[in-house]
Amino acid sequence: MANQPPDLPLYRAIVEYDGSDLLGFQIQAEGRTVQGELERVLLRLCQDPVRVIGAGRTDSGVHARGQVIAFSAAWKHSLQDLHRALNALLPADIAVQSLELAPPGFRPRFSATKRWYRYQVGLWPHRSPIRSRYAWELGPGLDVQSMNAAAAHLAGEHDFASFGQPTQGIVTVRTVFSVLWHQQDLYLYFDIIANAFLRRMVRNVVGTLVEVGRGHRSPDDVFSLLERRDLSLSAPPAPPQGLFLMAVTYPDDTETGIDSRRLRSVA
């Protein structure tokens, strides 16, 4: 880990957070962020600055059930004590779900092989102030079959320049392993698993696929968008509150791995 003495133990944790009142994962000059809150608590516990690195830089308002972080720290007690201490001091909208020692050379972002995002759309007919905190309220009437036909064009390796910008470098090619819309009660879920994502890629994809569901675009328009590599042609991004980082997979890891059989069962 950068800026940390090599003799300190390296920890890996799975973090869940409600992003509604957070300015994203990455630390900012002002305002609450996930990284900022974690580093604040670790400074208090370890009495030294601790740098926290995350698997993904989720935007302001985006949630996570399976964000993976890593940090090196001079902690003199047990893993269980550190886990309990973190959750005792973290604010109510952030919690550490698991904590373990990381393998040598582990980097939460660059060591990852798959990432699973879920977007939630609300199909209820009237406004719901509570449910809308975690979903995009669109109401009934979307053509889910056409949305899945459009989403099928995204599977495989493509240049996704029409749907996002790289967070680092200039390469916009990504590989999508699985993509699916499915309805459960009054929610419509969009699950997408890829090796990596561009900035705002999922939200731009969802916004475009919703236009297909509303009949404003055809499913084949998505294939055309991929070919044209022009971000200005995609729909405006879907709002952040419906997006969740569900899980991240690593080569040596089974506990945080993504099992495609869980896609329909995890809400």
* Positions marked active-site: 59
Q: What angle do CA 174, 180, 185 make, to 5 degrees?
A: 145
Count of other CB atoms within 10 angstroms of residue 231: 17
Task: Collect all residues with Cβ–Cβ distance below 8 Å to 95 and sequence separation of at least 6.
Answer: 15, 16, 17, 87
Strands 136-137 vs 114-122: parallel, antiparallel or unpaired: parallel
The DSSP letter of residue 196 is -
What's the CA gap between 13 and 162, in Å, rounded? Answer: 33
Contact 16, 90 (CB under 8 A): no
Count of other CB atoms within 10 angstroms of residue 111: 20
Q: How far is CA 71 from the centre of its chain?
A: 19
What's the CA gap between 118 and 64, in Å, rounded? Answer: 10
Q: Which of 132, 17, 112 is nearest to 65 (CA)?
A: 17
